[in-house]
Chains A and B, each alone.
Chain A
Amino acid sequence: MKKINIASLLLLVFLSACGESESKVDSALTEQVLYFGNGTEPKDLDPHTVTGVPESHILMALLEGLVMRHPEGLDPLPAVAESWTISEDGKTYIFTLRENAIWSNGDQVTASDFVWAWERMLTPSLGSKYPDMLYDVVNAEEFNKGIIKDFSKVGVKSLGTKILSVRLKNPAPYFLGLLAHYTTRPVHRPTIEKFGEIDTIGSKWTRPGNFVGNGPFTLEDWQLNKVLKVKKNPLYWDADKVRLNGIHFFPVDNATREDLMFRNGQLHVTSTVPLEKIEVYSKQYPDLIHIDPYFGTYYLRVNVKKAPFDNKLVRKALSLSINRKEIVEKVAKGGQIPAFSFTPPDPNSYFPPTTLEYDPVLAQSLLKEAGVSQEKLPAFEYLYNTSEGHQKLAQAFQQMWKQNLNIDVELANTDWKVYLSRQNIGDYTIARAGWIGDYPDPKTFLDMMVSDRGNNQTGWSNYEYDNLLIKAAQSPSQEERFKHFYKAEQILMDELPIIPIYTYTRVYMLNQDVKGWSPNLLDSHPYQFVYLER
């Protein structure tokens, strides 16, 4: 056995010298299989316990929620729900589910599937990471926090096999947007109960052969750190429209390797592009490289509990002395847009206040006004997790602060977990951070800075800000909500516990054979619209 292996190893050198005439991408044209570079290996495929972007790409193929995102914009499209009505006060939703929505094993997708799935997601002992996605539902938060034990008190009911009613505690115009998120999708109750309890984490129900879904694709094969394959689901209600026969998700967490795979014709779409290559490819392969706007913000957290950063003038000075334009054009170089607000400007017509600017002279005078001079300001630390991109930015900030304010910053990189835990316990002065919106609404950003929220982590707390967010939640109209958000954001940008740097872009390579792939803010590309053609 071993001998054969070694002999074949040597033999193969010569055999393969002949070279493959056809790359995988070429043969995919007839097979209609999409080769997808998917970043890191997914943790699991349980929509209620995972949190990552790679998982979301796979779950979009395997499970379908009440609504889905429009491939070009962000308006929700009917998915499992054929239609819905919203009461006048905006608090009651009645969904009518499709008659032909069925699970991949032939069972009907029913309203009670959703009720049970949401019960599971909100069950405290499951430890779901995204329960707050449903906190707008009456009593959902109380149930999730263990205050209410009886799920029938939560505002989600089955009014018949195919009719689902949802009651919200306040009008939430973004609620339909939330329902496109994977964590609100249904799961197949008999399968989960076959392999464990309602709150069992990591049972075998997510394995190929066991997994029962209702999405356009079904799970075919899952080889850890190698490939995850899905194939077309013939029982999907809209199966006629699905043109891909399958998708192979490759966990490629190394940008250089992913680039080589793409160039070698092994991938149709990549998850990223190596930093150094963005500029080169933009000139060399303008048709292949895609730089799409993305609903995310790169920002700095400032620990406001630490003097002198408890003084907002000092924080302002830090922000004023960062030349965002130069950062974006000369350092990040990925087509990012300088950010002057926490919430990225979004097409739903919310345009946040833009008052941040580059003004080193003003910065210096603010610092003077705050009574901070270089002698009084001991060298402080800038915390970032190790990565080439973060390091470049960190060095650029360091130089800008040195030149414009004459203050010294020590850069401190750590591994990911240390970086997270130090922010969590407030053991940092300034740290880089990034946030990608979960749903297309300013709330996904602004809610984070409410006092004592898990991801606030700056120690910043502002009564008026908190109040504005509550008012926004209770507003009946979108217009009024945005007004409150606008005011809240003004406070945030005046206080600057976080300093926005730029709005993210999604930079990736896409083979030109891929059709029906439209850029959008949330980087969501429903596969039923995608096909391969040359």
Chain B
Amino acid sequence: MNTAESSLAKKAFDRLVSNKLSLFGGIYVLLLIVLAIFTPLIAPYDYAYQDLNLGPSGPSAEHLLGTDTLGRDLLTRMMYGSRISLMVGFLATMVALVIGVLWGTIAGFAGGRTDAVMMRIVDVLYGIPFIILIILLMVIFGRNLVLLFMAIGAVEWLTMSRIVRSQVMSLSQQEFVLSAEAMGVSKKDIISRHLIPNAIGPVIVYATLTVPQIMLLEAFLSFLGLGVQAPMSSWGLLIRDGAVSMEEYWWLLIFPSLAFSLTLFSLNFIGDGLRDALDPRTGPN
């Protein structure tokens, strides 16, 4: 890493930190990750232990966030659930991001026949019935969380690639790219140094929006038997279960939803901050 690059990175980092909201978001997410990692050590109860005599009970001193219909501690289940949801959300988004950005950039930059073929492949993948695909994947690979991330990521990149492609296409006509081409900069360098950094804004926005979608999709996939198995849970599943009993046991919906929403807000603050920080055109403010 040369000095010019490192100072650029430092500038970006400084800008990121100076944005209070992103800083708050970053701290929150970091805290959450630490909490998720140490959950087995610090969780107040066993996530599977049912107190059938207690049943569903509201927040109390013993159970800070109440218990679910089988008398299990909600806080504990949310802590364990965060492990699954954060992992699924981040990993699948990563997969989607990497495939989508590469695919979209190459298609958009190459244009012509390559672009046409690549985008038609995207169209084909859009058309395949997702549920059947998941059921088949389960048969082939069995129940496996890693597979779950891949399956979700493999579907979510499609829209990402379309967004990146349209961005790259409009960028590649712009003067700084054209002049770089004229100066004989290699295609690989143009893509990695000019196109991707400049297209990154909408990509980050879309990526931060993809995370919640995936967390909720995970709950749907659990319906098919892919994903977490009871008695383990995830935020998506907790929210789903909470939604059916919101009139009777409000805490089962409110607390998981709050945790979920706060995380997403934080992610978006980080996303916005990152976008502003990385944008080569915004000067230091």
Task: Tell which of A280, A396, A410, A413 touches B70, judged by Cβ atoms closer than 8 Å.
Answer: A396
Residue of A nearest to B249 (CB): A276
Q: List 8 A-B contacts (CB under 8 A).
A: A256-B244, A276-B244, A330-B53, A331-B70, A386-B224, A392-B70, A398-B231, A414-B138
7 cross-chain pairs, A with B, having the tightest CB-CB distances, nearest first: A276-B245, A330-B52, A414-B225, A413-B225, A395-B231, A386-B223, A411-B230
**CB pair B52 A413 closer than 8 Å:** no
| Given A331-B52, A412-B229, A418-B135, A395-B248 contact (CB < 8 Å) | no
Interface of B is mostly: loop
**CB pair B50 A396 closer than 8 Å:** yes
Please count how many residues in chain A sit with their CB below 8 Å of the partner chain's CB atoms.
25
A405 → chain B closest CB, angstroms: 16
Whether B63 is near chain A, meaning CB under 8 Å from some CB there, is: no
**CB pair B70 A394 closer than 8 Å:** no
**CB pair B48 A399 closer than 8 Å:** yes
Interface residues of B (CB under 8 A from A): 48-50, 52-53, 55, 69-70, 135, 138, 143, 222-225, 229-231, 241, 244-245, 247-249
B133 → chain A closest CB, angstroms: 13
Q: Which of A237-288 contact B (CB under 8 A)?
A: 256, 274-277, 280
When chains A and B are docked, how far (Å) is the Cα of A410 from the Cα of B231?
Answer: 9
B129 → chain A closest CB, angstroms: 13
Residue of B nearest to A254 (CB): B244
Whether A391 is near chain B, meaning CB under 8 Å from some CB there, is: yes
Interface of A is mostly: helix
Q: CB-CB < 8 A to B247: which residues of A? A: 277
Question: Known contacts A331-B52, A388-B241, A414-B138; can you find 12 more A-B pairs with CB under 8 A?
Answer: A256-B244, A274-B244, A274-B245, A276-B244, A276-B245, A276-B248, A330-B52, A331-B70, A386-B224, A412-B229, A413-B222, A415-B223
| Given A388-B241, A411-B230, A415-B135, A277-B225 contact (CB < 8 Å) | no
Whether A464 is near chain B, meaning CB under 8 Å from some CB there, is: no
| Given A388-B244, A412-B143, A413-B230, A399-B224 contact (CB < 8 Å) | no
When chains A and B are docked, how far (Å) is the Cα of A386 from the Cα of B237?
Answer: 13
| Given A331-B52, A386-B223, A388-B241, A395-B229 contact (CB < 8 Å) | no
B266 → chain A closest CB, angstroms: 31
**CB pair A396 B135 closer than 8 Å:** no
When chains A and B are docked, how far (Å) is the Cα of A511 from the Cα of B12?
Answer: 66
**CB pair B225 A418 closer than 8 Å:** yes
Q: CB-CB < 8 A to B230: which residues of A? A: 391, 394-395, 411, 413
Whether A326 is near chain B, meaning CB under 8 Å from some CB there, is: yes
When chains A and B are docked, how far (Å) is the Cα of A400 from the Cα of B246?
Answer: 28
When chains A and B are docked, how far (Å) is the Cα of A226 from the Cα of B10?
Answer: 61
When chains A and B are docked, how far (Å) is the Cα of A388 from the Cα of B233?
Answer: 13
A276 → chain B closest CB, angstroms: 4
Task: Tell which of A277, A394, A413 touches B248, judged by Cβ atoms closer than 8 Å.
Answer: A277
**CB pair A411 B231 closer than 8 Å:** yes
Q: CB-CB < 8 A to A331: which residues of B? A: 52, 70
When chains A and B are docked, how far (Å) is the Cα of A394 from the Cα of B68?
Answer: 16
Residue of B nearest to A419 (CB): B225
When chains A and B are docked, how far (Å) is the Cα of A280 from the Cα of B246?
Answer: 13
- CB-based A-B contact count at 8 angstroms: 62
| Given A277-B248, A396-B70, A415-B224 contact (CB < 8 Å) | yes
Task: Tell which of A276, A394, A399, A414 touches B69, judged by Cβ atoms closer than 8 Å.
Answer: A276
Q: CB-CB < 8 A to A274: which residues of B? A: 244-245
Task: Tell which of A330, A391, A394 touches B55, judged by Cβ atoms closer than 8 Å.
Answer: A330
B38 → chain A closest CB, angstroms: 25
Interface residues of A (CB under 8 A from B): 256, 274-277, 280, 326, 330-331, 386, 388, 391-392, 394-396, 398-399, 410-415, 418
When chains A and B are docked, how far (Å) is the Cα of A392 from the Cα of B55?
Answer: 12
Residue from B50, B247, B249 with most neighbouring chain A CB atoms (10 Å): B50
B144 → chain A closest CB, angstroms: 13
**CB pair B229 A411 closer than 8 Å:** yes
Task: Tell which of A277, A280, A396, A410 touches B229, judged by Cβ atoms closer than 8 Å.
Answer: A410
When chains A and B are docked, how far (Å) is the Cα of A396 from the Cα of B55?
Answer: 12
**CB pair A395 B53 closer than 8 Å:** no
A44 → chain B closest CB, angstroms: 24
Q: CB-CB < 8 A to B249: which residues of A? A: 276
Residue of B nearest to A413 (CB): B225
Q: CB-CB < 8 A to A410: which residues of B? A: 229
A283 → chain B closest CB, angstroms: 11
A73 → chain B closest CB, angstroms: 36
Q: CB-CB < 8 A to A396: which residues of B? A: 50, 52, 70
When chains A and B are docked, how far (Å) is the Cα of A256 from the Cα of B247?
Answer: 11
Residue of B nearest to A330 (CB): B52
B128 → chain A closest CB, angstroms: 17
Q: CB-CB < 8 A to B223: which residues of A? A: 386, 413, 415
B98 → chain A closest CB, angstroms: 30
B74 → chain A closest CB, angstroms: 15
When chains A and B are docked, how far (Å) is the Cα of A410 from the Cα of B50?
Answer: 16
When chains A and B are docked, how far (Å) is the Cα of A275 from the Cα of B50?
Answer: 18
Q: CB-CB < 8 A to A280: which residues of B? A: 248
Q: CB-CB < 8 A to A413: which residues of B? A: 222-223, 225, 229-230
Q: CB-CB < 8 A to A415: which residues of B? A: 135, 223-225
When chains A and B are docked, how far (Å) is the Cα of A391 from the Cα of B229?
Answer: 10
Q: CB-CB < 8 A to A411: which residues of B? A: 229-231
When chains A and B are docked, how far (Å) is the Cα of A415 from the Cα of B143?
Answer: 14
Q: CB-CB < 8 A to B70: which residues of A? A: 331, 392, 395-396
**CB pair A395 B52 closer than 8 Å:** no
When chains A and B are docked, how far (Å) is the Cα of A386 from the Cα of B70?
Answer: 17
When chains A and B are docked, how far (Å) is the Cα of A410 from the Cα of B224?
Answer: 16
A325 → chain B closest CB, angstroms: 11
Q: CB-CB < 8 A to B48: which residues of A? A: 395, 398-399
**CB pair A414 B224 closer than 8 Å:** yes
Q: CB-CB < 8 A to B135: which residues of A? A: 415, 418
Q: CB-CB < 8 A to B229: which residues of A? A: 410-413
When chains A and B are docked, how far (Å) is the Cα of A276 from the Cα of B225?
Answer: 23
When chains A and B are docked, how far (Å) is the Cα of A200 from the Cα of B111?
Answer: 54
When chains A and B are docked, how far (Å) is the Cα of A414 from the Cα of B230?
Answer: 12
Q: CB-CB < 8 A to A388: which residues of B? A: 241, 244
Residue of A nearest to B68 (CB): A392
When chains A and B are docked, how far (Å) is the Cα of A386 from the Cα of B219?
Answer: 12
Residue of A nearest to B56 (CB): A276
**CB pair B225 A412 closer than 8 Å:** yes
**CB pair B248 A326 closer than 8 Å:** no
When chains A and B are docked, how far (Å) is the Cα of A413 from the Cα of B230?
Answer: 9
B45 → chain A closest CB, angstroms: 13
A262 → chain B closest CB, angstroms: 14
Residue from B48, B49, B70, B225 with most neighbouring chain A CB atoms (10 Å): B225
